[in-house]
Amino acid sequence: MRSIRLYVDLPLAPDTDASLPAAAREHATRVLRLRAGDALTLFNGDGHDYPARLLEVARSLASVRIATRSAPAAAESPLTLTLVQGIARGEKMDWILQKATELGVACIVPVLTARTEVRLHAERGEKRMAHWRSVIASACEQCGRARLPQLLPPQPLAAWLSRARHETPLFTLDPQATLRVRDLPTLSAAQLVIGPEGGLDAADLLLLRAAGAQGLALGPRVLRTETAGMAALAMLQSHLGDC
């Protein structure tokens, strides 16, 4: 029997009724074809799941009855991972956000680097942020997380480094480095910087070294931006997290 989870940006409480927002309503009734009486689970990012049942489905309305609130979901990793991702083009960035969410990151920071080809002006940036939040919410629906990773606004790498938590280990991938994931000591948190399609240039690397970043090798091969971060996150979770 399939389990339906829907993210809603609403306050939720047991023994209450709620109307699904338009996007959730369309997904539940048109895509999933749920009908009155069908069970589903709602979550709003507070760390809990809310088992519910559809009460009424109409053309512009879908109401639910929330039954209970679960204990905090166990899908969050004990390793607090921040992915600092050079903004990639189009669907690549969507894929990165989706898979990073599935791999348990706590925070995602889209950054502009010397070789970033994407330029986000104010209006386009707002639309892109809304789209990225939707991608992350959908990934949480699928993978069972009840907390959405924090998504920071796009910003220059230098700006993020000036505000980063310097007590948290900072890594960037380097095929020439001698440090491997298996060599890392026990950590409770880590920050990982991944370049865009063209990689990090010399100026970016100087900034990172000045901020105390360590080079981390996954192997002798140069990976694409959409592969590199996911491979590193998976290895960090396997060695230090909950995989």
Which tokens sit at 179?
């440090």
Q: 203 lies in which domain range?
A: 80-240
Q: Say which CATH number the domain at 190 has.
A: 3.40.1280.10
Residue 139: the pLDDT is 97
3-state helix, strand, coil in the chain (%, to 5): 35, 25, 45
pLDDT in tens, 189-207: 999 999 999 899 999 999 9
Q: Say which CATH number the domain at 28 has.
A: 2.40.240.20
**One domain for residues 45 and 101:** no
**One domain for residues 28 and 139:** no
pLDDT in tens, 146-161: 999 999 999 999 999 9
Q: Which residues pair with 214 in a beta bridge?
A: 171
In a domain, 57, yes or no: yes
Calculate the average pLDDT of the chain. 92
In a domain, 75, yes or no: no
Residue 126's SS3 state is helix
Tell whether the model's pLDDT for residue 1 goes beyond 60: no
Provide, rounded to the nearest whole percent, the portion of the chain with pLDDT above 90: 78
- Burial group, residue 140, by CB count within 10 angstroms (0-12, 13-18, 19+): buried
pLDDT in tens, 55-112: 989 888 899 999 999 987 778 999 999 999 999 988 999 999 999 999 999 999 999 9
**One domain for residues 52 and 90:** no
User: Rounded to an integer, what is the distance from CA 30 to the centroid of its chain?
Assistant: 26
In a domain, 191, yes or no: yes
Residue partners of 224: CB distance under 8 A and separation at least 6: 197
**One domain for residues 122 and 162:** yes
Q: Are 200 and 211 in contact (CB under 8 A)?
A: no
pLDDT (average), residues 162-173: 92
Number of domains present in the structure of the chain: 2
Provide, rounded to the nearest whole percent, the portion of the chain with pLDDT above 70: 98
pLDDT (average), residues 49-54: 96
Residue 187: the pLDDT is 95
- Of 59 and 52, the structure prediction assigns the larger pLDDT to 52
